[in-house]
Amino acid sequence: MATVITNMTMSLDGFIAYPDDTVGELFEWYSFGPVAVATANDDVTVHVDEASAEVFAEAVASVGALVAGRRLFDVANGWGGRHPAGCPVFVVTHSAPTDWPHPDAPFTFVTDGVAAAIEQAKAVAGDATVAIASADITQQALNLGLIDKVTVDLAPVLLGAGIPFFANLANAPIRLGDPTVVQGKRVTHLRYDVLK
């Protein structure tokens, strides 16, 4: 059965983007090293240090399906029809886009909620990982008790304001296990099991 994780790059003060959805300094670590790591999207290559390259490559290889929110989908322009993880993507939305220019892309628009999107993603992923890449979807999934692991790529920057990764948690506190920590250049990779 699939493991459900959440993963985002987050500032030290808890934000995953500025209020206008730009990421600025948060993604510095994607271009701060000598190791080029290709992704499934030919338009996206990251250049990171050796430790981050190992973490990044392992994470991408383990993902069998991804769940994202409509806001992220729109901000990323649908990743041009091919997410960098190269896996099926389940987009939680109130309504599917009518002008999606990539009808053959492995994207499913789920209109009946977060739990349904995660269930569909798990069915496709099999024994692989289902990754949630959205703050709002993460918050809803945590409230529903559907996340097994919280992973944070912690950037050494204080944004001061923005879109919080963890907010509106109905069942707080949510206890996490002790972290696995990998130090990279301009990032600290943190991995926690959710204690249930």
* Separation in Å, CA 11 to CA 24, 53, 102, 162: 11, 20, 33, 10
Query: First CA to last CA across the chain, in angstroms?
Result: 17
Strands 89-92 and 107-110: parallel
Instruction: Quick: pLDDT tens for 146-162.
Output: 999 999 999 999 999 99
* Other CB atoms within 10 A of residue 112 CB: 10
What is the pTM assigned to this prediction?
A: 0.91
Instruction: Quick: pLDDT tens for 7-34.
Output: 999 999 999 999 999 998 999 998 988 9
* Other CB atoms within 10 A of residue 144 CB: 14
What mean pLDDT comes out for the span 88-101?
91
44, pLDDT greater than 80:
no
More confident of the two residues 128 and 196? 128
C-alpha to C-alpha distance for 93 and 173, rounded to whole angstroms: 27
63, pLDDT greater than 90:
yes
Instruction: Quick: pLDDT tens for 174-187.
Output: 999 999 999 999 99
**Which domains are present in the chain?**
3-193 (3.40.430.10)
**Contacts (Cβ under 8 Å, ≥6 apart) of 122:** 1, 2, 4, 65, 130
DSSP characters for 34-77?
SEEEE-SSTT-EEEE-HHHHHHHHHHHHHEEEEEEEHHHHHHTG
39, pLDDT greater than 80:
no
C-alpha to C-alpha distance for 167 and 105, rounded to whole angstroms: 32
Instruction: Quick: pLDDT tens for 135-147.
Output: 999 999 999 999 9
C-alpha to C-alpha distance for 65 and 3, rounded to whole angstroms: 11
Helix (H, G, I), strand (E, B) or coil at 20: coil
- Residue 27 exposure: Cα atoms within 13 Å on the Cβ side: 13
Per-residue model confidence (pLDDT) at position 142: 96
